[in-house]
Amino acid sequence: MAAPTETIAFTDVSRELRRQVDAALHGYTEYDADCPAKLADAIRHSLLAPAKRLRPILVLMSCQACGCECSSALPAACAVEMVHTYSLIHDDLPAMDDDDMRRGRPSCHAKFGEATAILAGDALLTQAFEAIATGIQPPAAAAHCCAELAQAAGASNLVGGQEDDLAAEHAAGGLDQLERIHRRKTGAMIRVSLRLGGIVAEATPDELTALDTYGTKIGLAFQIVDDLLDLAGDAAKLGKRTGKDSTHGKLTFPALLGVDESRRRARQLIDEAKAALTVFGSRAADLESLADYVLNRDR
Ligand code: GRG
């Protein structure tokens, strides 16, 4: 059966944005001779592996929704992907989630050793801020983007959420605790992706608030779907092992709410996210389609 025209259009748009992000990431990983070859290989192995590029696409689409040419936000889009990839490399380490597969490849430490994987993550985290500082104009927008990305990736968000998530393994907990972990661990990076696109496009306060609400809602929906995919998804499509949450005794949405209620909640969040976009009119068509993708994704 043929896919609806809208779906085809969205697939084309996101494929083209992914192509632009991938090309730019290749450029960012052409290091000078002072970068050790093994470190450069480890960075490229993880950063250039096949991935959805959800966060950078969100940066570019939010910039476009605010009426600005998306190429002006490309350095910020790549910066978010660098921070995200660093977090995946470190999350896979034996001291954390201990995963040997990521993005359909051996995880970074499985291929290059733990020390090089830690350093590859460190290098990506640092390079993200260089990409924004040197690539985003005007300088005030670059400084604003750096501050927001640092906040989202820092102790009160990504890193703090990860710490609490590790501490919550094999411990009893409720929905409030689970949502608090994921608002920081997964949600903050998705939310900041939307905000960075808006900042580059000099969004109005109303537009920035709308992007923030949309980002918060799809961030939580993304995590609920992630939990459902860990339970029943296809490891080959996902490019990582499934069933790890129950092995690790993790607090998850399906474990707390059941599969049907988790799915219902995710759908409700996606509807609320789309409703937040009215301020943009037809300029938000791609963000609307992307919200549906977050709900229906299988990888
Ligand atoms: C180590 C600081 C630090 C943080 C780790 C990102 C993260 C926090 C943990 C990853 C574990 C995980 C599976 C989280 C759930 C959601 C998530 C962030 C999945 C990976 O992102 P995708 O699905 O992956 O967008 P790709 O490979 O497509 O980029």
Buried b (16+ CB within 10 A) or exposed e, 41-77: ebbbbbbebebebbbbbbbbbbbbbbebebebbbbbb
Give 52-104 pLDDT, tens digit per residue: 999 999 999 999 999 999 999 999 999 999 999 999 999 999 999 999 999 99
For ligand 1, atom 27, the nearest C-alpha belongs to 51
CA–CA dist 55, 77 (Å, integer): 7
What local confidence, expressed as pLDDT, does residue 7 receive? Answer: 55
What local confidence, expressed as pLDDT, does residue 2 receive? Answer: 43
What local confidence, expressed as pLDDT, does residue 246 receive? Answer: 67
The residue whose CB lies within 8 Å of the most ligand 1 atoms, and thus the one to mutate among 226, 248, 250, is 226
Ligand 1 atom closest to the Cα of residue 85 is 29
* pLDDT of 3 above 50: no
For residue 182, how far is its CA from the centre of ligand 1 (angstroms)?
Answer: 11
Give 91-143 pLDDT, tens digit per residue: 999 999 999 999 999 999 999 999 999 999 999 999 999 999 999 999 999 99
What local confidence, expressed as pLDDT, does residue 65 receive? Answer: 97
Mean pLDDT of 148-175: 92
Query: pLDDT-derived band of residue 298, with 50, 70 and 90 as boundaries?
Result: confident
The residue whose CB lies within 8 Å of the most ligand 1 atoms, and thus the one to mutate among 186, 189, 298, is 186
For ligand 1, atom 4, the nearest C-alpha belongs to 87
Query: pLDDT-derived band of residue 1, with 50, 70 and 90 as boundaries?
Result: very low
For residue 261, how far is its CA from the centre of ligand 1 (angstroms)?
Answer: 23
Q: Which residues line ligand 1 (CB under 6 A)?
A: 51-52, 54, 84, 87-88, 90-91, 96, 103, 158-159, 162, 185-186, 223, 226
Looking at mean pLDDT, say which of 3-12, 272-281, 290-299 comes out highest: 272-281
Helices (H) and strands (E) in the chain, counts: 16, 2
CA–CA dist 128, 80 (Å, integer): 7
Query: pLDDT-derived band of residue 169, with 50, 70 and 90 as boundaries?
Result: confident
Ligand 1 atom closest to the Cα of residue 90 is 1
CA–CA dist 124, 86 (Å, integer): 6
CA–CA dist 263, 253 (Å, integer): 9
What local confidence, expressed as pLDDT, does residue 9 receive? Answer: 66
Ligand 1 atom closest to the Cα of residue 153 is 2
By the 8 A CB rule, do 77 and 60 touch? Answer: yes
The residue whose CB lies within 8 Å of the most ligand 1 atoms, and thus the one to mutate among 91, 93, 99, is 91
Ordered DSSP codes for 220-254: HHHHHHHHHHHHH--HHHHTS-SSHHHHTT---HH
Give 170-194 pLDDT, tens digit per residue: 777 889 999 999 999 999 999 999 9
Tell which wins on pLDDT, 36 or 167: 36
For residue 86, how far is its CA from the centre of ligand 1 (angstroms)?
Answer: 10
For residue 219, how far is its CA from the centre of ligand 1 (angstroms)?
Answer: 12
Average pLDDT in the chain? 93
For residue 285, how far is its CA from the centre of ligand 1 (angstroms)?
Answer: 26
By the 8 A CB rule, do 121 and 90 touch? Answer: yes
For ligand 1, atom 13, the nearest C-alpha belongs to 226
What local confidence, expressed as pLDDT, does residue 249 receive? Answer: 73
For ligand 1, atom 18, the nearest C-alpha belongs to 186
